[in-house]
Amino acid sequence: MMAAVLRWLPGQKHRQASRPLAAVRVHAFDQPLLWIMVALLAWGLVMVYSASVAMPDNPKFARYAHTYFLSRHALFLVISFVAGLLAFQVPVATWEKCAPWLFVLALLLLVTVLVPHVGKGVNGAKRWVGLGFMSFQPSELAKFATVLYAADYMVRKMDVKERFFRAVLPMAMAVAVVGVLLLAEPDMGAFMVIAVIAMGILFLGGVNARMFFLIAAVMLVAFGLMIALSDWRRERIFAYLDPWDEKHTLGKGYQLSHSLIAIGRGEIWGVGLGGSVEKLHWLPEAHTDFLLAVIGEEFGLVGVLTVIALFLWMARRIMHIGRQAIALDRVFAGLVAQGVGIWVGFQAFINMGVNLGALPTKGLTLPLMSYGGSAVLMNVVAIAVVLRIDYENRMLMRGGRSA
């Protein structure tokens, strides 16, 4: 199937026709990046099934079949794969034109989530909009839209990037509006990711270092106040500092303590695929936020290090594609690629840190691997856009046109 897809993508027919005459095989886009993405998606599918297969034994999920989450996640992967193919066909110039409108659409959807009887709530948080066959999470679209909008914004503000109020303040206001909407859900984790994406693109786009550190200081103070003024966020911090305390073990520290138990049970080589005990109704959200803990239990330290290595390689390769685009004077394309690298890398870092007990618990999934249609869909679309950027880079380097 993948071979048929590769033949269908732009540049493949031309390359196949000219292969006998070429001394060196030249790919139309970064195929290793594609295969790493496919490997993470496939491994994620296996682990989602492993982590969720026993859930119907819980009365809360008694009406579900044992393959419910597997079949749903497989459907999400098919939808994401089709969406990724379509996104790859869109020239980067078109994404640049649509960036402001996509950002506005994301804002409207974030508002829609808060409308009574429209937004769907789970565990006290209203983050989803029902689409019939799946629930869509607008915060995932907001991450992608922020990447495009911030990159487009920096291209438009290149001539005033040394002036704080004209270069930074409008972007800060846009991120603040997104933050207010996300905190109303509440979804502080998504807001953190979006804030880091925007700050990263501003910095890479050439904003004065003093401005950047000022923005960083303001963001740290803002997040500190959010935690200080919220009782349940403070409790999470205290639980993170001492998850084994009797007061926290059965409360805010419950997930963290059982995540650490799962990873500890895995030791070096793991207990084997399907052998996890913690997924048997001990570790909540094992198929979403704490999938890495199940990987650690079943594949051990080797499995966890493999996941870390795959994400490190992916982020590094995406950032390289971005630098290459900027070197070719394609600033918007380069900033978009680097923004996607920041998004995937930072979210993976936060999720891994939470699972390993290095960071306080946040409701962020492991990109490309955790169960969730919206997250996987937008991750695949974002990486498809990066592959398109790489494709256009290679076209330019071969003397053709980027679009």
Domain ranges of the chain: 43-89+232-391, 105-229
* DSSP-derived 3-state class of residue 125: strand
Arithmetic mean of pLDDT over the chain = 86
What pLDDT, on the 0 to 100 scale, is given for residue 230?
76
Structure letter (DSSP) for residue 365: P
Structure letter (DSSP) for residue 366: P
Question: How far from the centroid of its chain's Cα atoms is residue 235's Cα?
Answer: 26
Residue found by looking up tokens 């997930």 in the block: 255
Measuring CA to CA, which residue among 157, 171, 204, 189 is closest to residue 334?
204
* DSSP-derived 3-state class of residue 71: helix
Strand (E) or helix (H) holding 103: helix 92-113
* DSSP-derived 3-state class of residue 217: helix
What pLDDT, on the 0 to 100 scale, is given for residue 14?
46
Question: How far from the centroid of its chain's Cα atoms is residue 400's Cα?
Answer: 32
Residues of the chain with pLDDT under 70: 1-27, 123-124, 158-167, 400-403
Q: Are 30 and 390 in contact (CB under 8 A)?
A: yes
Buried b (16+ CB within 10 A) or exposed e, 379-394: bbbbbbbbbbbbbbbb
CA distance 131 to 138: 12
Q: What is the pTM of this model?
A: 0.89
Measuring CA to CA, which residue among 9, 81, 86 is closest to residue 45?
81
CA distance 99 to 332: 11
Measuring CA to CA, which residue among 400, 331, 392 is closest to residue 157?
331
What pLDDT, on the 0 to 100 scale, is given for residue 24?
36
CA distance 369 to 174: 30
